[in-house]
């Protein structure tokens, strides 16, 4: 393959971000708007701080509204049943909420001609493309141009014997002749769905008048930057994510406040640091930057670093149609950039599969001094003061968020160039945030042992009640082992006593454990101790490690989940060791450990009131492998009717990138039904399936393939069992990564706040639900899209049932952002993808061993 410098056709951005870990040992703050990240008992491998999750990602956010580099108008999936009279519920207290949407007072009524624009030789900078085309505005008339697609009010005549309607000639800054070829594509009528693409382009042009800078796909304000840390050379740029979409009855503009972490250090500066500090600077440099996403300012593109070519330099040459040229000459000629160090190595970025399918299979070579590092390093994430400072700026309270949304609107309405742009296209935006009617669902009753009930309040938290009441069902822990380093045995014994004391308050009988002491903390030593303990048939094994360690955690989990399957509880000495400042906190930790151990042994810490018998709830989620980016793991978790059983069924299947999941979901579902029938003697009356991990681009595949295959197969199973009506199934897609926010009197809405009109989509059977309470920042709702429903329940009951399911996540004595089975599926998929990399033993499939 030829090696080419970075260009617009080969950029690769960041994929789906890692999700927050749930570990006690680090005392992390919950990611705002996501499922709570409780301070729980199971110690996990080091991960990115949830306080920073969504900070850099917020700049990417929902891709609706993006145009260049990502398709805006995808095929609309019309999942709303034709016979559905209303998707609005009725239960709950009516309230009025403000949203982060603005209404269009004037909708354009025009027809536009759409053209494709190509540059020869290619120009990969969008702003330069726009500037070159602007020189011919007298020919084009009124137009809007995103860098590749031109929408114009003028219809140009076809040119004989040429596919192009116009072939314009211009010059670059260096004097090079550039041909601009314009080809007709089609017409956008007034009511054409592609009108949304045009409106988004018009809005983006209007936002250019606000003196904002585009980074990747969204606009940020470098003038308002916040210098976070001079040591790490980090800045925080505030900005906006915008998207225009047809909602129930109006075109609405969704505006979300975003922040982008901008690092000022280049790969060249990182290289220089490694040369100064390491004898093997090449190895250290590779370890630090491989896998990193870098930004090249000259074309505003991002690339993933895959390798470093120390044998190459900017003086190396590559082939062009005009002959060989060095990278030094290329950047001087193309961008008027002078490369200063001619001896620096080149950084390699491999083309993505999408690039290869498009015929671009060359390696992309980057110049370290022109590539800026992005994202956070492990050192930054472990810097508590840095993360705290970042959180203070990114966790915006509702009142401040509303003020900033209004300020954005005022800037747009007062900027002369912005106003002129909107007026020239006959577009007018309302200055007020959209207000709509919503409902707060009744609080749920949590059921403990002895049928004692607790009515949730606005905190949606029952931690205190867990400590003083018996758990719903207990599994007495009579045979268990504790594996601990010998030198830490005393501290571990003190913690075990606290666990036994806490278990007594929850009416769970816990016997004294057997201790397996190890002389050192090497991985092999832990493996031998696990083998020794597992051979004595314990119910559960507690394993103590000194501090969070990814390699050690993976070794332990592989041993206990695959090789010698036994439920395990990993805790860190840092978490459980007594300290003068945390004597009361240790009892809280011990309580959580006992709750978690009980859940892993098929006990149930609490239950909710369920009005439906014979209900199986299912969660499915996908996580990508940390070792092989082309490999993913789909996790399936199902309940065995929570009204009469506390058992679960779980399964994990491996699949390659791009592989359809329908066969694996069908296989998992068949196994779950078999387990249900063995347990109850019959099939479930209803199945409520929550599908997580679906982006807008995958919705069509899920709707037309997964749901169809699943429904067909389930009907076959049910009819063969004598149920001629088939299976009563509801299939709901759960989406967390959304930009929608809503507020009540400038405060966060209460848990249970439902929005099912105005900002929902007319082609969908959907609703928004806030199910959790947060203490800092703005809560983020979750979107639920019902793709199929044959359960016979109306919209009201579907909403209530969904809300109930957010109360059943046993790692957190409160509600979480998604139904519990979704969170369980994520936990299982994440464990396999990050630590185990293979399917767990089938002997654990009925236990929540992955908590």
CA angle 476, 482, 486 (to 5 degrees): 155
CA distance 542 to 480: 8
**Can you give the CATH number for the domain in which 148 is found?**
3.30.70
Q: Which of 188, 222, 242 is the last residue of a domain?
A: 188
**Can you give the CATH number for the domain in which 684 is found?**
3.30.420.10
Q: Do 405 and 272 lie in a common domain?
A: yes
Q: Look at residue 243 and give its three-state secondary structure.
A: strand
Q: Across the strands, what pairs with 438? A: 95
Look at 9 and 75; give whichever has higher pLDDT.
75
Q: Express each pLDDT in 425-438 by its tens digit.
A: 888 999 999 999 99
Q: Express each pLDDT in 632-645 by its tens digit.
A: 899 999 999 988 88
Q: Do 410 and 504 lie in a common domain?
A: no
SS3 assignment for 52-88: CCCCCHHHCCCCCCCCCCCCCCCCCCCCCCCCCCCCC
Q: Do 411 and 387 lie in a common domain?
A: yes
pLDDT in the model for residue 18:
38
Q: What is the DSSP letter of 620?
A: E
Q: Exactly one of 124, 469, 521, 621 is catalytic; which is it?
A: 621
Look at 543 and 196; give whichever has higher pLDDT.
543
Q: Express each pLDDT in 792-849 by its tens digit.
A: 899 999 999 999 999 999 999 999 999 999 999 999 999 999 999 999 999 999 999 9
Closest CA to 100 of 403, 344, 322: 403
Q: Express each pLDDT in 48-100 by its tens digit.
A: 332 222 333 333 333 333 333 333 445 688 889 888 889 999 999 999 999 99
> Is it the case that residue 44 has pLDDT exceeding 70?
no
Confirm whether 260 is domain-assigned.
Answer: yes
> Is it the case that residue 139 has pLDDT exceeding 50?
yes
State the distance between the two ends of the chain, measured CA to CA, in whole angstroms: 46
* Cα torsion through 389, 395, 397, 403, rounded to 10: 90
> Is it the case that residue 153 has pLDDT exceeding 90?
no
Confirm whether 285 is domain-assigned.
Answer: yes
Q: What is the DSSP letter of 488?
A: G
Confirm whether 579 is domain-assigned.
Answer: yes
Distance of CA 306 to the CA centre of its chain: 23
Confirm whether 103 is domain-assigned.
Answer: no
Confirm whether 89 is domain-assigned.
Answer: no
Q: Tokens for 663?
A: 């066969």
Q: Which of 574, 600, 626 is the last residue of a domain?
A: 600
CA distance 77 to 763: 7
Token pair 């290619």 is found at 122
Q: Do 534 and 657 lie in a common domain?
A: no
457 is catalytic: no
Q: Tokens for 603?
A: 């006990």
**Can you give the CATH number for the domain in which 234 is found?**
2.170.260.10
Q: Please give the mean pLDDT across all residues of the chain.
A: 86
Q: Which of 139, 165, 188 is the last residue of a domain?
A: 188
**Segments of 721-780 assigned E as strands:** 729-735, 742-743, 753-755, 766-770
Q: Do 680 and 541 lie in a common domain?
A: no
pLDDT in the model for residue 468:
82
Cβ neighbours of 279 (radius 10 Å): 7
Beta-strand pair 428-440/93-106? antiparallel
CB 765 within 8 A of CB 84: yes
Q: Do 474 and 386 lie in a common domain?
A: no
pLDDT in the model for residue 299:
83
Confirm whether 36 is domain-assigned.
Answer: no
Q: What is the DSSP letter of 291?
A: T
**Can you give the CATH number for the domain in which 547 is found?**
3.40.50.2300
Q: Express each pLDDT in 731-781 by its tens digit.
A: 999 999 999 999 999 999 999 999 999 999 999 999 999 999 998 899 999
Q: Do 198 and 343 lie in a common domain?
A: yes
Q: Do 726 and 837 lie in a common domain?
A: yes
- The total number of structural domains in the chain stands at 4
Q: Do 457 and 576 lie in a common domain?
A: yes
pLDDT category of residue 471 using cuts at 50, 70 and 90: very high
Q: What are phi and psi of 624, to 5 degrees?
A: -85, 145
> Is it the case that residue 28 has pLDDT exceeding 60?
no
**Domain range enclosing 818:** 615-738+787-844
pLDDT in the model for residue 354:
63
Q: Do 126 and 197 lie in a common domain?
A: no
Give percent above pLDDT 70 in the chain.
89
Rounded to two decimals, what is the model's pTM? 0.86
pLDDT category of residue 651 using cuts at 50, 70 and 90: very high
Q: What's the average model confidence in pLDDT over 284-312?
A: 89
Q: Do 477 and 359 lie in a common domain?
A: no
CB 146 within 8 A of CB 67: yes
685 is catalytic: no
Q: Tokens for 830?
A: 């994440």
Q: Do 266 and 390 lie in a common domain?
A: yes
> Is it the case that residue 726 has pLDDT exceeding 80?
yes
Q: What is the DSSP letter of 350?
A: P
**Segments of 172-233 assigned E as strands:** 177-188, 213-215, 218-220, 226-229
Confirm whether 801 is domain-assigned.
Answer: yes
Confirm whether 402 is domain-assigned.
Answer: yes
Q: Exactly one of 62, 469, 521, 692 is catalytic; which is it?
A: 692
> Is it the case that residue 440 has pLDDT exceeding 80?
yes
């Amino acid at each position: 393959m030829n090696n080419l410098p970075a260009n617009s056709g080969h950029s690769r951005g960041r994929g789906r971000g890692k999700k927050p870990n749930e570990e006690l040992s680090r005392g992390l703050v919950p990611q705002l708007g996501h499922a709570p990240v409780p301070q729980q008992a199971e110690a996990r491998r080091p991960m990115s701080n949830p306080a920073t999750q969504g900070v850099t990602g917020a700049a990417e956010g929902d891709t609706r509204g993006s145009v260049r580099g990502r398709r805006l108008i995808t095929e609309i999936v019309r999942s709303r049943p034709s016979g559905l009279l209303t998707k609005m519920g009725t239960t709950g207290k009516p309230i009025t909420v403000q949203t982060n949407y603005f209404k269009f007072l004037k909708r354009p009524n025009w027809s536009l001609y759409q053209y494709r624009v190509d540059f020869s030789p290619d120009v990969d900078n969008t702003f330069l493309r726009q500037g070159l085309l602007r020189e011919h505005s007298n020919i084009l008339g009124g137009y809007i141009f995103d860098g590749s697609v031109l929408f114009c009010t003028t219809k140009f005549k076809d040119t004989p014997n040429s596919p192009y309607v116009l072939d314009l000639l211009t010059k670059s800054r260096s004097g090079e002749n550039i041909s601009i070829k314009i080809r007709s594509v089609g017409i956008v009528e007034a009511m054409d769905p592609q009108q949304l693409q045009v409106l988004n382009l018009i809005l983006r042009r209007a936002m250019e008048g606000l003196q904002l800078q585009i980074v990747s796909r969204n606009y940020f304000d470098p003038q308002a930057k916040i210098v976070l840390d001079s040591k790490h050379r980090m800045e925080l740029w505030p900005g906006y994510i915008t998207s225009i979409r047809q909602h129930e009855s109006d075109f609405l503009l969704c505006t979300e406040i975003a922040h982008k972490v901008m690092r000022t250090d280049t790969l060249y500066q990182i290289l220089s640091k490694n040369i100064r500090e390491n004898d093997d600077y090449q190895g250290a440099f590779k370890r630090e930057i491989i896998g990193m996403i870098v930004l090249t300012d000259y074309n505003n593109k991002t690339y993933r670093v895959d390798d470093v070519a120390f044998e190459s330099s900017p003086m190396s040459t590559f082939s062009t149609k005009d002959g060989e040229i060095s990278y030094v000459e290329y950047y001087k000629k193309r961008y008027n950039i002078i490369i200063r160090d001619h001896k620096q190595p080149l950084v390699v970025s491999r083309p993505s599969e999408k690039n290869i399918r498009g015929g671009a299979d060359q390696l992309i070579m980057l110049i370290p001094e022109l590539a800026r590092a992005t994202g956070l390093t492990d050192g930054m994430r472990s810097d508590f003061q840095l993360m705290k400072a970042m959180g203070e700026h990114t966790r915006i309270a509702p009142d401040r968020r509303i003020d900033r949304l209004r300020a954005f609107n005022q800037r747009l309405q007062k900027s002369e160039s912005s106003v002129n742009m909107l007026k020239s296209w006959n577009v007018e935006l309302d200055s007020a945030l959209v207000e709509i009617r919503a409902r707060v669902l009744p609080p749920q009753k949590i059921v403990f042992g002895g049928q004692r009930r607790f009515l949730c309040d606005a905190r949606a938290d029952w931690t205190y009640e867990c400590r003083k009441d018996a758990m719903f069902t207990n599994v007495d822990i009579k045979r268990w082992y504790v594996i601990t380093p010998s030198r830490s045995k005393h501290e571990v014994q003190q913690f075990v006593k606290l666990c036994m004391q806490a278990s007594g308050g929850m009416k769970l009988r816990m016997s004294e454990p057997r201790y397996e002491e190890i002389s050192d903390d090497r991985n092999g030593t832990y493996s031998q101790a696990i083998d020794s303990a597992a051979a004595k048939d314990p119910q559960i094994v507690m394993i103590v490690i000194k501090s969070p360690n990814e390699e050690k955690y993976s070794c332990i989990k592989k041993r206990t989940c695959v090789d010698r399957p036994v439920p395990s509880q990993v805790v860190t000495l840092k978490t459980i060791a007594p300290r003068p400042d945390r004597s009361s906190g240790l009892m809280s930790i011990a309580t959580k450990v006992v709750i978690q151990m009980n859940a892993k042994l098929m006990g149930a810490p609490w239950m909710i009131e369920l009005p439906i018998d014979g209900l199986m709830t299912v969660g499915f989620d996908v996580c990508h492998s940390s070792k092989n980016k082309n490999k993913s793991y789909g996790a399936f978790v199902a309940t065995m009717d929570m009204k009469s059983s506390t058992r679960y069924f779980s399964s994990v299947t491996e699949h390659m990138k791009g592989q359809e999941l329908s066969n694996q979901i069908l296989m998992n579902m068949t196994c779950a039904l078999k387990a249900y029938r063995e347990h109850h003697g019959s099939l479930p009356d209803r199945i409520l399936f929550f599908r997580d991990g679906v982006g807008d681009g995958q919705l069509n595949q899920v709707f037309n393939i997964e749901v169809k295959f699943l429904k067909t197969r389930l009907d076959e199973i049910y009819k063969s069992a004598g149920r001629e009506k088939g299976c009563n199934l509801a299939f709901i897609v759960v989406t967390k990564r959304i930009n929608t926010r809503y507020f009540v009197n400038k405060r966060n809405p209460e848990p249970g706040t439902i929005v099912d009109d105005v900002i929902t989509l007319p082609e969908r059977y959907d609703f928004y639900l806030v199910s959790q309470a947060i203490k800092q920042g703005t809560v983020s709702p979750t979107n639920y899209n019902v793709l199929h429903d044959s359960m016979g329940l109306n919209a009201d009951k579907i909403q209530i049932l969904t809300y109930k399911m957010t109360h059943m996540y046993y790692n957190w004595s409160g509600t979480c952002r998604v139904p519990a089975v979704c969170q369980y599926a994520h936990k299982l998929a994440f464990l396999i993808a990050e630590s185990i990399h293979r399917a767990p033993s089938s002997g654990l499939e009925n236990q929540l061993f992955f908590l």
